[in-house]
Structure 1
Amino acid sequence: MILDEPTIGLDVLSKQRLREFLIAERRERGTTLLLTTHDMGDIERLCERVLVVDHGRLAYDGTLGGLSTAVGAERVLTVDLDRPEPGLPTPPGTRAVGVQAGGLRHVFAFDTTGVTVGAVLADIARHAEIRDLTIAEPDIEDVVRRLYRSHRRP
């Protein structure tokens, strides 16, 4: 099934219903979807394999997760501590992004090919009590932008 910008102009509920239909169609009938779109939500929800074309040339062919790795995009871990720890050491395999609220909140960036979330958290827990955390995946639009920039010749 070939679809060109299938959810453009649809309201949120209609987008959801169309995506659910396409997922069910693929699962029940083994239908292959060829999707051309700029809607990153469609890509994240419908695609297992991603091809990025830049000015007629193939810039990437692989999984959506692999796309982030290909351009060196990082996950961002934000940890809130029980008590301020302004001198908290940076866990191995991470990059300190910032310290907020006098050391109550620490932000680290890391590439999951080099270190696991569990290892990072274990290292932090050796130095401080973790109250809460969030992990942000790389923004897919930023990842695609970075791919286009790296693919183009100066």
Structure 2
Amino acid sequence: MKFLIENWYLVLAALTSGGLLLWPSLRGKSGGVATAEAVRLVNREKGVLIDVSEPAEYAAGHANGARNVPLSTLTGTELPAKQLPSNKALPVVLMCKTGARAQRAAGILQKQGYANAVAVQGGLAAWREASLPVEKSAA
């Protein structure tokens, strides 16, 4: 006990570093999924890839096969039913340029009953870094 009292700063440092190591796992799903997991969800579990960027950003470059459903259309009272899957049990993989808007969109969709709505960590930047296909469309 004397050691702990005399070396309180070491104990504090150990507790702080342990807390910082545990923080990501305590946050749960809110961190999103890595690009490899996103590809697995789309290919093996029939997940729907949705880009929540604005139309101009989407046209400049988006993940191959992604549907464009801007975040601004999700914030209203009614969701755009045509672009979203009717089966709410399917994985909905969301992305944007950096992943921040996709995180917000995942929260909105989860509240609307899409329990498997997840954002891609790092967004389109991480998608490109993983050398996954990106396409452009006419503006």
Structure (1/2) with the larger strand percentage: 1
TM (norm. structure 2) is 0.26
TM (norm. structure 1) is 0.24
Asked which structure has the greater RCO (Cα within 8 Å, sep 6+), the reply is: 2
